[in-house]
Chains A and B, each alone.
Chain A
Amino acid sequence: MSSTKFESYFQVFRDILRAMHFSTSVKEVLDVVVTKSSEVLNAKGALLRILNRETNQFEVGAGFGMGKRYLHKGPVTTEKLLPDPRELHKVIIITDIWNAPRVEYPQQAWDEGIRMMLDVPMAIEDKLIGLIRIYLEKHREFTDDELEFILTVAEQCTCIIERVQLIENQQTHFDHLATQMDKMSSLGRMAAGIAHEINNPLTGILLFSSNMSKKVEAGGPLEEGLQIIIKETQRCKTIIQGLLDFARDREPQKKPTDINTIIESAQGVVVNEFRLRRVTIENQLAADMVDTLLDNNQIQQVLINLLLNALQAVEENGRVTVRSAVDSEQNSISVEIADNGCGIVTDDFKTIFEPFFSTKAKGTGLGLAISYGIVKNHQGNIQVFSEPGQGTHFTIHLPILVEKSNGRETT
């Protein structure tokens, strides 16, 4: 390879890397890849197909220098794009466009002045994630060094695209969580108002019905009806209380605490319910657990919520496992509550942390929403993995925080 050619390749390489540093959009990166690779090879244009992981088909992600109809080509499968897996790490050179099986519309290409094509697979290990087709108007020779270089550039692009895709996915995930938090805080503000407005009429109902229940025949149908009114009114009170707890959004009162002790105290609260249902709790608590700043009551509430959810999910004789761990590399601790129960239906996954979402007959749908808020207030996060019929794992990650002498928190 001549030094000038090498220099221009190097330039392209640098441009693509630079584009990646400034871009968190996959589309932008793909555009740079097709533009630069066409330029450096003095080609008429290029087309990049990229794997859509949902459909497992390759869609046109970017094009340069070619007619619009190229951009509107439909998705294709791996088998069609690269039938021979041995070609995964090779540049495929098409010199005879009329007779190459890879070329679908030779007439069209010929009419546009195309005489030669290069197919550059974009692969990570043994997985094809895209393909760049470069269209040349003249036949020319490519040295092995040159091809090697093209492949290296493609490989780097692949890594970049993978990373940018990951960033994009995380962004979407984050946006979803952010709107959820927004929804919750506005709901919180509303909750206090609703609570007041509803508690007033409930007071009238409860006072009159409880007073009346003593004036009717004991054990008669009227008394029974009044008792139901009393009980249901008190149930409303409980729901509103839950809503208020959720709405209050208290700042956590944090103290250096060993989370293992909170796990044990939370289990103490629910142990009877577990025993009644003959569900065993197995603890695998980290012996090397370290103290971190936690609001004892709030974290206990989270753990109780998760334990009761797990209990709800398992049948009699089920098993709930609680694990705690220290990740000194991430400077965080984690608690995992795993059950071997019914799992979460895929449709429910997006909504489980939303207020008022419940699958329990008598649930208020606030347990997970409150837990989510508490963990977020501890700068932590809560993750859920579930498979219907297999069970559910909830994992809470919390940063290891120590109190500085000035009362501020630090990691």
Chain B
Amino acid sequence: MKPRRILVIDDERVICDACRLVLSEKGHTVALKTTGREGLRAIQQGDFDIVLLDMKLPDIDGMEILKAVREEKPGLCVLVMTGYSIMSNAVQAMKLGAADYLSKPFTDDELITAVEKACISL
């Protein structure tokens, strides 16, 4: 599979590191951001194929970031991660343009499958 540039935005450092480990082993380049603000700036300035976005961030809400992506980088593929496991939350994210969602906690295989699925549509 073609290596992709992936940005992970989650305020939990451990989750960021784990995602990087799993995805980099598959050959992807992974950047990490632990706040919404930094994440948004990275999206605006960087050149990513896929963003893994946590829905609950301390500064900017995940939904706000999704809206910003839709306006500024409509082609960017966003996978959301939600800790509430509430479907309506995921459905709302999909309506705002998210490609897929992962409900926390998830395994490495679930993460890889979601990213691979997203890659097909790229």
List the one stretch of A76-84, A171-179, A193-201, A284-292 in contact with chain B: A193-201
Please state if A207 and B111 are interface contacts (CB–CB under 8 Å): yes
A207 to B81, CA, bound (A): 13
The reply to whether the CB of B107 lies closer than 8 angstroms to some CB of chain A is yes
In the complex formed, the residue of B with least CB distance to A233 is B105
B61 at the A/B interface (Cβ < 8 Å)? no
Residue of B nearest to A207 (CB): B18
What is the minimal beta-carbon distance from A252 to any residue of chain B, in angstroms?
A: 16
Contact B18 A196 (CB under 8 A): no
Give complex CA distance A379, B111 in Å.
Answer: 43
B19 proximity list for chain A (CB < 8 A): 207
Q: Indicate whether B117 reaches chain A with its CB closer than 8 angstroms.
A: no
Option from A208, A210, A248 in Cβ contact (under 8 Å) with B86: A248
A211 CA to B56 CA, complexed, in Å? 25
B residues within 8 A CB of A233?
105
| B12 close to chain A: CB less than 8 A | yes
Across the interface, A195 reaches (CB within 8 A) one of B17, B25, B85, B109, namely: B85
A200 touches B15 (CB 8 A): yes
- Whether B86 pairs with A207 at a CB distance below 8 angstroms is no
Contact pick for B14, options A201, A240, A241, CB 8 Å = A201
Are the C-beta atoms of A192 and B105 separated by less than 8 Å? no
Chain A nearest Cβ from B89, distance in angstroms:
11
B73 at the interface (CB under 8 A from A): no
A244 within 8 A of B: yes
Q: Are A207 and B22 in contact (CB under 8 A)?
A: yes
Encoded as 1 (CB less than 8 Å from any A CB) or 0, chain B from 5 to 29 comes to 0000000101101110110010000
Q: Is A203 an interface residue (CB 8 A)?
A: yes
A208–B85 contact, CB under 8 A? no
- Cα distance A240–B103 when bound, in Å? 12
A44 within 8 A of B: no
Residues of A within 8 A of B21 (CB): 207-208, 211
Rounded to whole Å, the gap between the CB of A332 and the closest CB of chain B is 32
Flag if B85 contacts A203 (CB, 8 Å).
no
- By a CB distance below 8 angstroms, the chain B residues around A200 are 12, 15, 83, 104
Are A204 and B84 in contact (CB-based, < 8 A)?
no
Q: Confirm or deny: B108 has a beta carbon within 8 angstroms of a beta carbon on chain A.
A: yes
Q: Which 6 A-B pairs have the closest CB atoms?
A: A207-B18, A204-B14, A202-B105, A210-B107, A203-B105, A199-B83
List, sorted by A's number, 8 A–B pairs whose CB atoms are closer than 8 Å.
Answer: A195-B85, A199-B85, A203-B106, A204-B15, A206-B106, A208-B18, A211-B22, A244-B84
| Partner-A contacts on B (CB < 8 A) | 12, 14-15, 17-19, 21-22, 25, 56, 81, 83-86, 104-109, 111
